[in-house]
Amino acid sequence: MCLLQPSSYNIPVVYTEWKFVLLRTLITMIYGYDLIDQMSQSNIQRLIYEFNLVKPYVDLMLNDKTQTFGDLCQCNDTICGFERTQMFTCLKLITDQLKCDYVCITLSNRIIVSSPNWSKLKLNEQYVLQLLIAYNPEFKFIRDYAVYIESVDRTHNYRLITVRLIGHLHVSLLCSNEPKLNVFENTIETIFRPHIEYIQNISSLLYPRAIHDSVQFDHSILALLYINRQTHYCVSTLHPIPTTVTKQDIVEQRFLNLKLFYMQMISRTSETLIPHTEPLTTTVNEMYMINDDHKCYYLKENNYELFILYSNSIPNIALRGISRKTLTLLKKHL
């Protein structure tokens, strides 16, 4: 098997390997483990059908169209800056009424809240599930997928039922034969109807920024990625200023620059250029890069990492101070 890595792109090996893990997880989740060979001999039509099912997700993964960083930093994308108590209450009600341990509420492909069992699934499985939930090529309101989950039981498939509440907000369930689809739909409606305003608020305030409007950043920040390595959650935003509307190509460029910055940091810490007589014990806690277009700053404190993209207007001397303040702010919320 070849890993194509153009030398000029400086993609760390760790990142490419994780991508392959995600692809493998996607394929085995849809097809099942060890079943592809059987299918190719017995039911070619089903094989072709499910290839077509998988294709858009493969495309999403390989071309980084999600504009999130969960696959890059091997964490779960989430949102932050708002009170989740109500969401937890709704989640508990769903779990109790439907008697299901695997429940998750997501905004696009970012987790808002999830049941304990769902959060115990492997990171790659969670990522792929969130992808399946969030990206709906057929624009269906409610969907029922058959998926195989290795960490639960790889011998038989589960149902991934997902319903779109509003906008990009989804509620999803991982279950076996029960509950039926209509039961599920009715239960969800019953539980969330009283909270309709709250849900609308979340959807409008948190998408696409992923951080509540009450969290204000310095005006020179263009994009940021915040990672909690202990809990394996990450928050990222390409729209740090809530009131401004940014063009799509600029957003894409910010995403690309931040991603490259992250990969540069990973390759610096994980690769050595020349072999040393003894391994180096130094660690990198801060890093910055400056060019004519933008500035980047990386900050690490224990299990927290922050990658920020700044505009050129910020003076170099202020980079460190503002980055530290931003990290302190985000640590309060996640």
**What residues line the site for another protein (CB under 8 A)?**
1-10, 13, 249, 252-253, 256-257, 260, 264, 267-268, 271-276, 278, 280-294, 296, 316-317
Q: Which distant-in-sequence residues (6+ apart) come within 8 Å of 71 by Cβ?
A: 18, 19, 22, 61, 64, 127
CA distance 257 to 11: 13
Which residue number, 53 or 260, has a Cβ lying nearer to another protein?
260
Element holding 23 (H helix, E strand): helix 13-31
| Closest C-alpha among 93, 73, 110, 135 to residue 298 | 73
CA distance 325 to 306: 11
| Closest C-alpha among 192, 39, 40 to residue 103 | 192
Which residue number, 88 or 288, has a Cβ lying nearer to another protein?
288
Q: Report in angstroms how near the CB of residue 167 gets to another protein at its nearest.
A: 28
Which residue number, 203 or 267, has a Cβ lying nearer to another protein?
267
Q: Report in angstroms how near the CB of residue 295 gets to another protein at its nearest.
A: 9
Which residue number, 153 or 301, has a Cβ lying nearer to another protein?
301
CA distance 218 to 10: 30
Which residue number, 29 or 296, has a Cβ lying nearer to another protein?
296
Q: Report in angstroms how near the CB of residue 256 gets to another protein at its nearest.
A: 7
CA distance 138 to 204: 23
Q: Report in angstroms how near the CB of residue 207 gets to another protein at its nearest.
A: 24
Q: Report in angstroms how near the CB of residue 73 gets to another protein at its nearest.
A: 19
